Every structure is written in structure tokens, then in C-alpha cells.
Structure 1
Amino acid sequence: MFVISFSIDSFKSRCVVGDELGQGVLASVYKGRRVSDGRQVRLPPQIPFYWSFFPLLSFHLQLIEWFDEPQRYILIQERPDPCMDLESFLKKQGNCMDEDMARDIMVQVVEAVNQCSKRGVLHRDIKLQNLLINIDTLEVKLIDFGCGDLIKTTPYDRYAGTFRYCPPEFLVYGSYDADPATVWSLGVLLFRMVYGHLPFASKFETIVGIFVFKDGLSKECHNLIAWCLEWLPSKRPSLQQIRQHEWLDQDQVGQ
């Protein structure tokens, strides 16, 4: 993909900024329109120039072009339409969803996270608000890499993300590894989608690691959630094991 850096005057002449869509960790995101062809885009124009990992913000949404200003970067990204964040979508569904819909979404989320991992990128804030869903096609996009980092083989000693998705090893020992922490957040996400609430209401509950399953879900779904939310990081599945789990592999369900 060919991307060019333009001057400030060039940006103002090429894009029209609209209403705010939301706020991420480092940037406010706005609706926008490209003057040349009327294409609807996303504009996060408040990324400070000294932030060295700014390209992570556009890892899953297509990066159309970017502008290099003296004090900030301006990224022009695709804006899927019609779409909303997954939290808003869930509220319209009665605050939770059935297993079939949750499976379709989880397959996409796991694949997105797996692609990030293959490229050495750690998102660190996987949650409902950071997933965009097209309400017509149910296509899902992972957004807001403001907490992101490059994957390393040694533990992280600083938690960046939402604490209700935080793995217990950080709360107890003050450190965590990339993949097990990501898997924990996927377990929290899946629990939230099918139950309508988070599995742990406080840091204490996360540390204790006790959560309650209710009737109504398949044993395969229960099994995957419980595996992702294993207290010991070494007992959690890998991303590849999650993708191959019988609940996500519809051909295996019911066999």
C-alpha cells in the first residue's frame, strides 16, 4: 500500500472533519470525509509526535494515508458503515447474545489477535468498546491500539488496559506474559457476551479466581471460557488451541 506524508495545508484541503466518534487512550476519533472522492473515513488527529508506536493504531482498520505535522500525526483510516462498538451492539441485543452469534464474533476476534501476534503486536486492551461490528454483516474490527506494545519474550511489569480484564498474575505478582494475558482477556470477553455481565466484579474476585456458570449454555462454551480463565497462566490455551477448540469449530460441535 502506498502512503504519502503531506503538509498541514494539504490535510485541510483534502479532508473535512466531522463529529467525534469517541475517545481512545491517546486520541480522539472523528468522522471525516475525503474531499477528492467523498469517502467516509476516521480521523484520530491528536496523536503526539513523540509516540513511537503510532502505526499500531491502524493495525486492523485500513490505513488510507497519514499526515506528519510538527506536533502530531494525523491518520486517515477506513470508517466501516453501518457499525457501532460491540458494547453498544450488545445493549441492543438485550445485553447478551446467543452462542451462535457469539461464536461468529469470537472466531473473528481470535483471528485478529492471532494476526497481531504473528506480527509481534500486543493489543493489551481487548474489550467490547475496542471492537467495531458492522450491524448488517456482523464483520468485526479490532481498534484502539493505544495501549499496544511490541511482543517480547520477557514479562511485562506495567499493566496497560482495562483492569476488569486484567489477569490475576499481574494483581498478585506484578507481571504477566503476552499470550496468557491476551487469552485471559478473551475469556472475559466471551463470558461477557454470553452472560451479559463480567465474570469478576472486583480485583479481589479476579485474584480469587472464582466465577459462576449458569444453566443455558453448552458444555463446549463453558469449557472454553473456563480454560481461558484458568488461574495459572501455564494452564491456559494458546491462541491456536482456542481457534481449534470444538466450540469455535462448528464442524466438531455436537460430535
Structure 2
Amino acid sequence: MKSCSRREADRRAFVEQVRESKENGYLLSSKKIGSGAFSKVYLGYATHEKLRQNYKLASDLRRKRHSIVRADKPELPAQRSWRLCPRWSPAWEPLHLQIQLYEMYKNHKRTFLVLELASRGDLLEHVNATSDRRESPGLEEEEARRLFRQIVSAVAHCHNAGIVHRDLKCENILLDECGFIKLTDFGFANCCSLKNSLMSTFCGSVAYTAPEILMSKKYNGELADLWSLGVILYAMVTGKLPFKERQPQKMIHVVKQGLVFRHPCLCSPECQSLIQGLLQLKPASRLGLQQVASHRWMLPATSAIFHQVMSSTASPPEPGAALEKTATRGKNPHSLPPQRGALS
């Protein structure tokens, strides 16, 4: 009985959301393409009237040759979710590297974010699909190198603007129709005006979270992002997560034992060197973005975009058996089951 009443309540809520979206110029479909701890993401379509009213939206969708958007519905009270929305400011988003926010609208119950659709899904899906196709875990190193350069460029752009992401993971890296990466989900991003300022908020996903955050220490957001980059690169080239635990305390114990490359190792010594340089237990010992950019595994033939972004990056702070879908964590995290195919 409760199940039937719950389904009916969900149906009525969705019908209401469809009506609200239409009033704002979007046709919300019933196809859910993603979800997290704080939101659900649906496919949507911009109406002809909306395209006539919004030149930026019309121009971008015309270039992509479709009218499809993502409708992200944060599952928080409107008062709370609206406070997160400035973190999606388009001023932070270079067109070629980050998901575009087209519009936000809200009522007393919920907030809608209308976002660019990355038609090839997320990096997690791409690694798993490629692994299945190759019948070998992970991406080939040449493809991993191409994508990782773009990821590093996007993170460098954020750090140059004084922004730390704090939730970098394969699920938050999307691929557009041309196969280029788009960084998304800035829900835990924060401004970091002083280079060596410290933060204390527990956030991110355990599998990708820096050990200093797991240990509830104050941390440098940029150095925490660098740890997450190391986990992402390891996952890309091996099809596995370097440390596999769901609970923070257990993860701390595993991380302290050190990184071990499974035998036989599927990536080159140069790639292993870069990963090890990022996955350093002591934050000050991690490679900085400039060092990552000049690492021998990243060369040669670095793209013009990569050079352009990295050339303006400030110096690094001074010393002081599939991929698993991870759930976004807030303060006092609790484990959530994976929602779809996973790195193991």
C-alpha cells in the first residue's frame, strides 16, 4: 500500500516538474541520465520560443546541431540549493573545458539548473566501455594522455581563478560529442583567495578524497585536488581504483600502506611515476600542476590549449574489476551503493 502511494506521489511530483519546466521554456523528459546525493539529472529539450529568447543557448545548441539540455534538480530545500548555485557561475567555465550553465530557475520547493548535455556520458562509463571493447582493463595510454591533459588544463584554469573543485572524480568528468572532456559538478567548489589558506569541510567521494581530508585535518584545497587527479589517472590506465574502501577510517589505513601497482602492471614506468608523484601521503610532497605539465609522460605534443592554460598557472604551493560509481559525500558521510557499473 505504501509502495503504491509512494509511486503515485512521485508521479504527481514529476508531472508538476514537467509543468514548471514547460512554463520556463523547457520540455522535461522522463529519461533520467544521472543522479547523486543531492540531485537527479534528466534529459530536456529547449522549446522554439526559448531559443528565440535566449541567444546564447540557441547559438550553442545550433553549433551542436540539437536542442537537448540537461535538467539538474538539486534535492535540497530551495533556500539551501539556491545558495549553492553561485558556484556554477559561468564566469568560471571556459567554453572548451567545462559544462555550460544556461539558466537557473526555482520555486519554493526546488531549483532547476539547465546545463549543457555531454552526449558521450562520463569518464567512468567511457573507461568501462573501452575496457569491455578492448577486453583489457583501462584506456590505452595515448588516449589517457590526451584526456588527462585536458583534465589538468581544466583544473589549472580553476586554480588560476582561485577556485578549488574538491570533488574531482571520473563521474564528474564528462565527454562531449567530439570526445573532449567537460568538467562538471561544482557543488563543493570553493574560493581560495590566499594560496596557502586551509579548509576544514569534509567533502568529496571517499575513493578520490585526499587522506588529509579523510583524517579530518585542515587542508589545502589545491593539494587535495592533486590527489584526486592521481586517482583519476590511475583509474584511466588500469580500469581500477588504487584504493578500494567505502568507509573513511578503513580508507585511511589502506592509503597509509602505500600505492601498489598490480602485477602485471598495465601502464608504463613513466605513467607510474606521474601517478606516484600525485598520490603522496604528505600533501607538500605531491607534484604541482606545473610539474605535472612538464612530466615526461605528458610530453611530447602537448596541445596549444594545455600550454596556454598551464603557462599562467602559479607556482605550486611551498612545502609546509571495473570502476565503481562513487557517491558524493558531505560532512559526516555514509556509504551509498553504486548506481551503475563500477571501477573495482
Normalising by the residue count of structure 2, what TM-score does the alignment of the two structures yield?
A: 0.64
Q: Identify the residue that residue 206 of structure 1 maps to in structure 2.
A: 255
Cα 1:226–1:9 change in 2 (3 A) is closer
CA deviation profile, 1:126-162 (whole Å, cap 9, x unmatched)? 111111123x532111112222222254322232011
CA deviation profile, 1:79-135 (whole Å, cap 9, x unmatched)? 133x1111111111114111001001101111111111122222111111111123x
Q: Identify the residue that residue 87 of structure 2 maps to in structure 1.
A: 56
**Count of aligned positions:** 243
Alpha-carbon RMSD: 2.4
1: CA distance, partners of 2:85 / 2:200: 21
Q: Secondary structure at the match of 1:45?
A: strand
Q: List alignment gaps of at least 5 residues for structure 1.
A: 1-7
Q: Identify the residue that residue 119 of structure 1 maps to in structure 2.
A: 161
Query: CA contact under 8 A between 2:274 and 2:292: conserved in structure 1?
Result: yes
Q: Secondary structure at the match of 1:28?
A: strand
Q: Identify the residue that residue 182 of structure 1 maps to in structure 2.
A: 225
Larger relative strand fraction: 1
Shift of 1:199: 1.1
Q: Secondary structure at the match of 2:187?
A: coil
Q: List alignment gaps of at least 5 residues for structure 2.
A: 1-18, 52-65, 132-136, 246-250, 303-344
Query: CA contact under 8 A between 1:24 and 1:146: conserved in structure 2?
Result: no
Matches within 5 A, 1:21-170: 21-36=33-48, 37=51, 39-46=67-74, 48-51=78-81, 52-57=83-88, 59=93, 60-81=98-119, 83-94=120-131, 95-134=137-176, 137-151=178-192, 153-170=196-213
Which of 292, 298, 307 aligns to 1:242? It is: 292
Query: CA contact under 8 A between 2:238 and 2:266: conserved in structure 1?
Result: no
Query: CA contact under 8 A between 1:187 and 1:229: conserved in structure 2?
Result: yes
Larger relative helix fraction: 2
Corresponding letter in the other structure for 1:150 = C
Corresponding letter in the other structure for 1:190 = L
Query: CA contact under 8 A between 1:64 and 1:77: conserved in structure 2?
Result: yes
Corresponding letter in the other structure for 1:220 = E
Corresponding letter in the other structure for 1:158 = T
Cα 1:11–1:148 change in 2 (3 A) is farther
CA deviation profile, 1:51-75 (whole Å, cap 9, x unmatched)? 4231334642112222243344322
Cα 1:237–1:13 change in 2 (3 A) is closer
Normalising by the residue count of structure 1, what TM-score does the alignment of the two structures yield?
A: 0.85
Query: CA contact under 8 A between 2:198 and 2:218: conserved in structure 1?
Result: yes
Q: Secondary structure at the match of 1:124?
A: coil
1: CA distance, partners of 2:110 / 2:162: 25
- Alignment of 1:20 onto 2:32: yes
1: CA distance, partners of 2:112 / 2:268: 46
Corresponding letter in the other structure for 2:271 = C
2: CA distance, partners of 1:34 / 1:226: 45
Identity between Structure 1 and Structure 2 (%) = 29
Shift of 1:13: 5.0
